[in-house]
Structure 1
Amino acid sequence: MAYDEASSTPQYCITQARCTLCQFKLADDDLVVVAAGKGVSCEFTFRRHTTFYDDELDIKLHICLQGQCAFRTKSTVCFHGRCHEFRFYSVTPTFLAATHYAFAPSAGEQRRRADYIQLALARNLQQATFWPRELPHELWRMVAGFLVQDCAALAAQEQLDNCDHVGDSVLNLAQSVYASYVKIDGLYYVKGLQNTPGANASKITYLSVLSAQITQEEGEKKESKDMFVAEDHLGIRQVVFISHKHCEEWCRNQPSVPGAWWRHICGKDIPSAVTIRSDGIKLRGVESMQNEPRALLSRVSWQVPVPSPPDVVDLLTLERPRKYPNGLRMRFFDCNTPDIIGYSVATDGARALAILSHKHGENAVASLYEDLSSPICFWMYMPINEGEYLTDICRRAGCLIIRTEVVGITFSTNQGRTVVFGLYGHENVEFRRIATLPNSPCRVYFNELDSLAGRRNVELVAFEQDIPHSTTTSPDMLPTLPVSISHCPYTQSNEVWLHSSCYMQRVTEVHPCIRMTAPHQPIIGMLLYYADGHRECVGQFRLDWVTEPIIIGDTDKLYICGKRTKECWGYVAAVTGRTPVSRAEGHWLDVAQAGTLEWWFSSRHSVLYYGSNRLN
């Protein structure tokens, strides 16, 4: 059935591939039940990015998981078929509010939750006394593994029996504050904040090295205290009051609240009261009652507590936005610390998606990269040599197809090296500095991607207070961009090409990077080591996909084999330091210890140039 704006067929959109009862993800081929309103429901086999039409009910369903849907008229909820079948309460608006995810949790948090439920269920099964015989814990864990979704769905519904008042209330900070807590899936959440003690409430203390209470004794001079709120996708995990003069020290020795994001509400913005929002099971929000510009910054969540929230800068305009988006979360990467060995940037070619720093001794694990769900994602790696540090971060902005947007960011170092993370080319592209960095450790913040809020790329950045952002555009003061020797490969006008290159003199080691998730496992990039200790990277590169190094002698060549997929897309099939026994399969590029190797890549192709020779 073709889409027609005038059609009377009800249109529903599923924007979260998650069961509303057990909260676990929907997978392709799962039997799914969708609530279509007024007691109407329909079943279908789940497939991502698909449209379904139910002839009997005359309902159209869109699966749209990128945060926006051109067809959406009504949002809806969906369930695993088995979870829906075994529900014992109706799914009420109160239940939906209590189980609503403010944002998608990390892959690590989803694994932790599943492991916790499985372990707790296995322990309960093992301790039950009515089984005819005892079984080892390992077998009970296997049994529990088949019941994780059922257990999660039942537990979520049982919590509604303890549901309290839903809505907003005002908390007076001039009086004592008491907190009660509730445990959900192994994590503690703040159930309530009030000015009077309850049966299960405990008095919140003023947390600092002095461990003084939040309220002063009669006759003492009262001091307003800053509030730090730790919250995750389900609600508030912790509330802490700190004297403003102790904020910096407390933040340096921050408490560990894994998976939580911190908001800082300055004491000046909460002179007497804050608004508390509850979903009936736990707190969902603590808001300042002021709307001054600095007070609005308190609505931004940070990956770690920050003593003074820095100004957030729009990457396109390089100015502070007039208002901060709802639910804005800012993560960070460490910059210029002595133990940093490199930086990774994820890009779709036109925009940055994430930025990581890598340090000595860290394990290269897939969890560093797995939270990105962009349909096009290139990971590029910039190794940092001994004595090298970042001096400038710049951005390039231009018209991409129909509108102006950020088309890449660049990192420059004190050794005159600049790496472009994004599509190649700088004609009709505005190149501007974002910030000049000191030769000392600092943190650079950028917005977390959030498909539910429509933030699918890095749009906003922030720097620690002692790093003012810059908008310098004078060409003689900007870093020099790298220039390609070869011409950009042409396939079609809307294909985004990225470029990288390295010199080939005195190469000692080559570390290939293989895309492990592809059936043909292509080599997508290489990290090169040189005799003087220098390192360079070409192509795409993920540290968790690195294979055994190829040792190169002083006069050895590097041999690169190119092949094509069934769709005729070029890829690198092999890299070796030994002369190929046979060149019957694929095409080979012989790279000597001289000249420059260039690696162009898009979402479909890899094209290499060495001198006048082209591979693929």
Structure 2
Amino acid sequence: MIASYLVRESAMITAKNQSVFSQASDMTVDLSKDVYASSSVIDGVRYIKSLCNVETARGSEYRLILNARDKGPPGSKEFPEVKGWWRDISPSKFEFSAIRVESDGVKLRRITDVLDEESKFKFPHVAWPSPEYPSNKIDILSYDYPVRQFAVSRNVRMTYFNCNAPDVTGYTMVCQSHWVSTIHAHGKEDDAEFYKEVDACFSDQVHVLIYMPVDQGEYITEIQRRWVRRIRGDFFDLVFKTNRARQTIFGSDKESLDNLILNPIMKPSQQGSRIYFNKPRPGPRSLDPPHINHKNPWFTSRCALEGVKDVTLCRDVSLSHRPVIGMLVQYTDGHQERLGEFRFDRPLKTIQAEQSGGIHIDLQRMEDEESTYVEDVRGFPIGDPSVCPEDESWIELSWSGTLEWKFRWADCIVKHIPAVQ
């Protein structure tokens, strides 16, 4: 178990050790001549070490990758055997005549246009998971979009989710404070890998997971950006609207809605769209629990209790007090709603509405803290709510009115709003 935590550190030490005995290089490669590549092997994976035009580079270390008579870009005829990342390097003029390649002696790190003098000072890059990346790019942190190039201040990797794909059953977003960090589309594939990545990236950070179910025949008609005043200084949320009048806000509660602005970002195709966004990258893990500061906003969810078929509870057993963190409500007409957080990799328990007169919700307070959590949810027999313990922490609900579930990291408030007579 201990060794598993050292895999990344071991790889870093190995790469550093190899670079000590290697020589960094910064050279110009003329694309009108033959181009050769040298490579290195790290942990069984082969990487391009450098590119050059040297005709004497015909030893076993070098390999011809671009013939002078071939007018295509380097590597256009071959694809890597292992999964990698693709970068869009645009020429400063109509086409490349020569490129500048930089290597640390182990891997090829940068390729820039020789004629673009400013490129040597531009370190950020945007990496794509495949060479078929979209041509229309939208920077949701900018006032002007779409954009030709992203104005990023660091290296970012792009990933995607399939919107309106035939097998999509819902969407989950991870929200940190007032920002959306990642998006996932649920379908026939196993969600285990997604939750594994979420835990790796965010388990030591304050975050919440917001799930949006999708009914049979329902699809996303519009995606909006919700923001106020200065985007970079405050926040941005995303809003998904569907053909069934569902509107899900992937964002936190706001004290004031006076300056709230909604901008349409895109209208996905009903037949399906692949939407890219920057992939969160896990940083150094902390062994300390997440520090909860003032940036721990509230999120609100609510649903009607009339016409409920069943309620599926989600319990987070990764925490010592094993709270119920949310519910998935299924209605008799096939419609679904989500309350609180919901993860399909946590133990799920279903309460049938037709077999109970309502539900009891047990609210408890954390020891030595002001936060509240749901310890248990039970259905009670029709006409006999007496199974509810005589404890003020229990809330008794019949199948009527509205249930509101406000939540944030390590805290929640559950309230029943009676139906208007």
Shorter-normalised TM range? 0.7 to 0.9
Deviates more, 1:537-546 or 1:362-371: 362-371
Q: When the two structures are aligned, how many residues end up with a matched partner? A: 394
Deviation at 1:398, TM superposition (A): 2.1
Q: 1:345 aligns with which of 170, 173, 193?
A: 173
In the TM superposition, what whole-angstrom CA distance separates every residue of 1:280-329 from its partner, at most 9, and x where no partner exists?
Answer: 122112223354999x9994211332355432413352433784434232
Q: 1:513 aligns with which of 284, 290, 314?
A: 314
Question: Structure 2 matches for 1:55-204, cutoff 5 A?
Answer: 114=7, 155-156=14-15, 159-160=18-19, 162-163=21-22, 165-195=23-53, 196=55, 197-204=57-64
Deviation at 1:330, TM superposition (A): 2.1
1:590 and 2:393 equivalent? no
**What is the letter of the counterpart of residue 87 of structure 2?**
R
Deviation at 1:431, TM superposition (A): 1.8
Q: 2:251 aligns with which of 407, 422, 426?
A: 422
Per the normalisation by structure 1, the TM-score is: 0.57
Q: Which residue of structure 2 lines up, in the alignment, with residue 278 of structure 1? A: 103
**What is the letter of the counterpart of residue 199 of structure 1?**
G
Q: Which residue of structure 2 lines up, in the alignment, with residue 257 of structure 1? A: 82
State how far apart, in whole Å, the 2-side matches of 1:113 and 1:183 are.
20
Q: 2:262 aligns with which of 431, 436, 439?
A: 431
State how far apart, in whole Å, the 1-side matches of 2:179 and 2:318 are.
23
Secondary structure of 2:7's match? Answer: helix
Q: Percent identity?
A: 28
Deviation at 1:591, TM superposition (A): 2.5
Secondary structure of 1:275's match? Answer: strand
Q: Which residue of structure 2 lines up, in the alignment, with residue 573 of structure 1? A: 375
In the TM superposition, what whole-angstrom CA distance separates every residue of 1:374-423 from its partner, at most 9, and x where no partner exists?
Answer: 621010000111111111111221269x9842242111111110001111
Secondary structure of 2:259's match? Answer: coil
**What is the letter of the counterpart of residue 498 of structure 1?**
F
Contact 1:382–1:537 (Cα < 8 Å) also in 2: yes
Q: Which residue of structure 2 lines up, in the alignment, with residue 408 of structure 1? A: 237
Q: Which residue of structure 2 lines up, in the alignment, with residue 449 of structure 1? A: 280
State how far apart, in whole Å, the 2-side matches of 1:264 and 1:410 are.
29
**What is the letter of the counterpart of residue 37 of structure 2?**
A
Contact 1:349–1:498 (Cα < 8 Å) also in 2: no
**Alpha-carbon spacing, 1:203–1:193, altered in 2? closer, same or farther (3 Å):** same
Q: Which residue of structure 2 lines up, in the alignment, with residue 608 of structure 1? A: 414
**What is the letter of the counterpart of residue 178 of structure 1?**
Y
Secondary structure of 1:439's match? Answer: coil
Secondary structure of 2:201's match? Answer: coil
State how far apart, in whole Å, the 1-side matches of 2:123 and 2:105 are.
27
**Alpha-carbon spacing, 1:298–1:493, altered in 2? closer, same or farther (3 Å):** closer
Per the normalisation by structure 2, the TM-score is: 0.81
In the TM superposition, what whole-angstrom CA distance separates every residue of 1:246-293 from its partner, at most 9, and x where no partner exists?
Answer: xxxx9xxx76633x3211335776522111111112211222335499
State how far apart, in whole Å, the 2-side matches of 1:191 and 1:524 are.
49
Deviation at 1:528, TM superposition (A): 1.6
State how far apart, in whole Å, the 2-side matches of 1:202 and 1:494 are.
53
Secondary structure of 1:330's match? Answer: strand
State how far apart, in whole Å, the 1-side matches of 2:162 and 2:375 are.
35
State how far apart, in whole Å, the 1-side matches of 2:232 and 2:335 are.
39
Deviation at 1:202, TM superposition (A): 4.8
State how far apart, in whole Å, the 1-side matches of 2:198 and 2:124 are.
29
**Alpha-carbon spacing, 1:173–1:412, altered in 2? closer, same or farther (3 Å):** same
Q: Which runs of 5+ in 2 are unaligned?
A: 284-292
Secondary structure of 2:395's match? Answer: strand
Secondary structure of 1:114's match? Answer: helix
Deviation at 1:493, TM superposition (A): 9.0
Contact 1:390–1:414 (Cα < 8 Å) also in 2: yes
Structure having the higher helix fraction is 1
State how far apart, in whole Å, the 2-side matches of 1:380 and 1:203 are.
50
Deviation at 1:114, TM superposition (A): 3.0
Contact 2:225–2:239 (Cα < 8 Å) also in 1: yes
Secondary structure of 2:339's match? Answer: strand
In the TM superposition, what whole-angstrom CA distance separates every residue of 1:585-613 from its partner, at most 9, and x where no partner exists?
Answer: 56222232222211111234211121259
State how far apart, in whole Å, the 2-side matches of 1:292 and 1:335 are.
40
In the TM superposition, what whole-angstrom CA distance separates every residue of 1:550-588 from its partner, at most 9, and x where no partner exists?
Answer: 333265412211111111321111012245735145622
1:527 and 2:357 equivalent? no
State how far apart, in whole Å, the 1-side matches of 2:152 and 2:374 are.
44
1:396 and 2:198 equivalent? no
TM-align CA RMSD: 3.6
Secondary structure of 2:170's match? Answer: strand
Q: Which residue of structure 2 lines up, in the alignment, with residue 379 of structure 1? A: 209
Contact 2:180–2:238 (Cα < 8 Å) also in 1: yes
State how far apart, in whole Å, the 2-side matches of 1:183 and 1:111 are.
22
**Alpha-carbon spacing, 1:362–1:560, altered in 2? closer, same or farther (3 Å):** same
Secondary structure of 2:320's match? Answer: coil
Contact 1:331–1:447 (Cα < 8 Å) also in 2: yes
Q: Which residue of structure 1 lines up, in the alignment, with residue 182 of structure 2? A: 354
Contact 1:316–1:406 (Cα < 8 Å) also in 2: no
**Alpha-carbon spacing, 1:186–1:322, altered in 2? closer, same or farther (3 Å):** closer
State how far apart, in whole Å, the 2-side matches of 1:602 and 1:352 are.
14
**Alpha-carbon spacing, 1:307–1:501, altered in 2? closer, same or farther (3 Å):** closer
Contact 2:32–2:68 (Cα < 8 Å) also in 1: no
In the TM superposition, what whole-angstrom CA distance separates every residue of 1:98-146 from its partner, at most 9, and x where no partner exists?
Answer: xxxxxxxxxxxx969939xxxxxxxxxxxxxxxxxxxxxxxxxxxxxxx
Contact 1:287–1:299 (Cα < 8 Å) also in 2: no
1:548 and 2:359 equivalent? no
Secondary structure of 1:379's match? Answer: strand
State how far apart, in whole Å, the 2-side matches of 1:361 and 1:439 are.
21
